[in-house]
Amino acid sequence: MYTRIVIKVGTNVLTRPDGRLDITSISSLVDQIAALKAAGVELVLISSGAVGAGRELLPGRPDDGAVAQRQVYSAIGQVRLMELYRQLFAGHGLLCAQVLATKGDFRDDLHYDNMLNCFGALLRDEVVPVVNENDVVAVTELMFTDNDELAGLVARMLGVEALVILSSVEGLYDGAPDDPQSRLIPRVKAADQTVAAHVQERRTSGGRGGMATKLRIAAETARHGIPVLIGNGRRPGILATIQSGHWPGTEVRQ
């Protein structure tokens, strides 16, 4: 049974096909996290979705991919996203806290220690830390590849017992996920280089990364002794399966 975990949720779990926040999906996620908390699990939530939330609040703007436009979306959307989390967690009698980070925070010893101390205090007080990249100030060398990388760094910082990565697919397949002939790969060894041949290069819409990034981060994290569970965040009750020992997606272990 895991007692401390990091859960990372991707954009495509949190948003609808039209890019708007999917309140039903987010509410289900919070319900499942609350159940884990009630069972005594300490957890940190790495949440995407701020940029998508900003696009929803600023419709019709030309989106040319410029860093400045992404900063605007993130600055506005992060407020919307956190207010939604606040309301949903409050429904379970829980508090949540916003933690924004850049890659530089993990390179600077003082910033690293300050962040570690903050996480420790929040978990001690039963607060759910909701972590996202600080897109407002993160540019070029300060940017993470995506929130999978951020999740891996937080998992290693806290020495958690598992990292859960939720996306819009069930896990790693031996072919294209939408090919009926493809089969899910339930277990992967961190040192197994051959599985990379199965990874599709394309990204899911709305996100910066893809399965290649997830597999790379998962392998690196697993080599530090932290198993990584990759699964479909839209599968009903998926977080309840963490403690059952029957993960429906892909497990990456040392």
Q: Which tokens sit at 59?
A: 């419709």
- Residue 167 labeled ligand binder: no
In this structure, what token pair is assigned to residue 1? Answer: 């049974």
Burial 86-120 (b: 16+ CB within 10 A, else e): bebbeeeebebbebbbbbebbeeeeeeeebeeebe
The dihedral through the CA atoms of 178, 200, 219, 126 has a sign that is: negative
CB-CB contact of 167 with 214 (8 Å): yes
With CA atoms as reference, report the closest residue to 146 among 12, 254, 239, 18.
12
> Does 189 count as an annotated binding residue?
no
Task: Report DSSP state, residue 204.
Answer: P
Q: Which residues contribute to the annotated binding site for substrate?
A: 48, 135, 147
Q: Which residues contribute to the annotated binding site for ATP?
A: 8
Q: Which residues contribute to the annotated binding site?
A: 8, 48, 135, 147
